[in-house]
Amino acid sequence: MTTRFNNLLSIRPEILSAKIHKGTSADEAFQNKTLRPIIKLQHDLLIAVFNNYIVKHKNVFFDLNLDQQLNYISNAIQKDIKFRNSLKGMVIGQFTVEEYERYIQNSSALNKRMMNIVKERLIQSVQLFSSPKSQ
């Protein structure tokens, strides 16, 4: 019988550059073994969610220059608590029970790592946010 644990782990992409060494801290190991693969797996969903966020906020994102758009992404993640919690839920929902138990031991630091990775993925994908004017 297949378990949720096996199913979750089997669909995660492997990230070869996310190495874990002897001197790697527990938080960094969790980041590389759990957070990065989950966030990569959820990439398309994160893009769709941020596109929806832009629309719900009256498309002002599209009137901004590139630097302002990058700041907009950062501010949305840092200052909009509901949006931030939604993003966290998309990642935490992909944890195994064991990963969740590890996460709750230091959730504050791990949340910071998680949101930084999500922010960087959105920033690196800024070209994917298409203006409704160009559609």
Burial of 96 by CB count in 10 Å (0-12 exposed, 13-18 middle, 19+ buried)? middle
Rounded average pLDDT per 10-residue block, the chain, 135 residues: 86 86 92 97 97 96 96 98 98 97 98 98 94 55
Q: Rounded to a whole number, what is the distance in angstroms from the first to the last CA of the chain? A: 47
> Nearest 5 degrees, angle CA 75-CA 76-CA 77?
90
Using CA atoms, how far residue 66 sits from 75, 119, 125, 127, in Å, is 14, 15, 12, 10
Which residue bears the tokens 């998680």?
A: 114
- pTM of the model as a whole: 0.91
Q: Which amino acid is at 44?
A: D
Phi, psi of 99 (to 5 degrees): -65, -40
Nearest Cα residue to 115 out of 77, 58, 70, 73:
77
pLDDT digits (tens, 9 = 90+) for 99-125: 999 999 999 999 999 999 999 999 999
Please report the DSSP string for 36-64 in residue order: HHHHHHTHHHHHHHHHHHHHHTTTGGGGS
Which residue type is seen at 5? F
